[in-house]
Amino acid sequence: MTLLEWFKDRRKNASMSKEQRHREIADGLWTKCAECGALHYTKDFQRYLLVCPACSFHEKVSAPERIAQLVDPDSWIPTDDHLLANDPLSFVDVKSYKDRLSQARAKTGMNDAILTGLGTLEGQPLALGVMDFRFLGGSMGSVVGERITRLVERATAERRPVILVCASGGARMQEGMLSLMQMARTSAALQYHREAHQLFISVLSNPTTGGVTASFAMLGDLIFAEPKATIAFAGRRVIEQTLRQKLPEGFQTSEFLLKHGFVDRIVEREQLRPTLSRVLRLHRPVGVPSPLSPATRL
């Protein structure tokens, strides 16, 4: 093989592999890290819980995946999955809310931006709600509010700890004031949960903003955050526009909130399940078996 032939060959191979790589990404065989661009086999990436092994960037996790990561296999009992948003304002902007809803349902296979249910974590009973950013930006409308409220009420009655994993752009504008009221309703249910001396742990994932930050996300007895998640009340762009001021590096990240005293710990995804398990165990009254264990349940 002449040197020229070798070059030709290489160029051909390079272009082929590029096409091939393209196809493989489209097929979902490969996943590209949104932060550093490193390519990983999707199966590996899932094994790493969607955390990039090169730069440890925590990719967004869908609600079904998160539930699978946290609860014991076969312990999950979904609650209130039949609730459907019903467009109370007949809201239309450039698209109708009805269309936005059906598209989001088709894209995610979910009925709204949250999954709720009961399950166990290393054998310990809990009530879990997980938001999903893919569904209309994880926005909180009536259904999200109702499912959280019902979950917390049930957990209070059954003396289960509540864990809510947050991922949200804030209130769902298309439901107008009804969406704002979900901040009050979820906070109300958590007040009664608190009075019953039941634990609520809030887990903040990327991103947690707006009305969710200004309600249950910040009401955890304990608040854990994933590394480098955006956690904010007002969006960065909004602040930059109104203040005409460049914001410092790392502003509104988990680390920023930790420094200012608003989260308890930053927990890497790999450590989330063991950390939650340890903390749940520590909160269980000494010598008192879980109220849900078969011995006391009758």
Q: Is the peptide bond before 227 cis (omega within 30 degrees of 0)?
A: no
Rule CB under 8 A: is residue 110 a binding residue for other proteins? Answer: no
Q: How far is the CB of 140 from other proteins (least distance, A)?
A: 10
Which CB, 119 or 210, lies closer to other proteins?
A: 210
Q: How far is the CB of 161 from other proteins (least distance, A)?
A: 17
**Distance, C-alpha 231 to centroid of its chain:** 12
Structure tokens belonging to residue 141: 């409308």
CA distances for 31 relative to 50, 52, 65, 145, 184, angstroms: 9, 10, 16, 33, 39
Main-chain phi, psi angles of 281, to 5 degrees: -65, -40
- Binding to other proteins (CB under 8 A) within 124-143 occurs at 142-143
Which CB, 21 or 150, lies closer to other proteins?
A: 150
Rule CB under 8 A: is residue 247 a binding residue for other proteins? Answer: yes
Which CB, 140 or 163, lies closer to other proteins?
A: 140
85, 87, 65: which is closest to 76 by C-alpha?
65
Radius of gyration, CA atoms only, the chain:
22
Structure tokens belonging to residue 155: 């957990």
- Binding to other proteins (CB under 8 A) within 174-213 occurs at 175-185, 187-188, 190-192, 194-195, 210-211, 213
Q: Residues 14, 36, 92, 196: which binds other proteins (CB under 8 A)?
A: 92
Alpha carbons 116 and 250: distance in angstroms, whole number = 32
Rule CB under 8 A: is residue 25 a binding residue for other proteins? Answer: no
Which residues contact other proteins by CB under 8 A? 82-86, 88-89, 91-94, 142-143, 145-146, 149, 171, 173, 175-185, 187-188, 190-192, 194-195, 210-211, 213-219, 232-234, 238-239, 242-243, 245, 247-248, 251-252, 256, 260-262
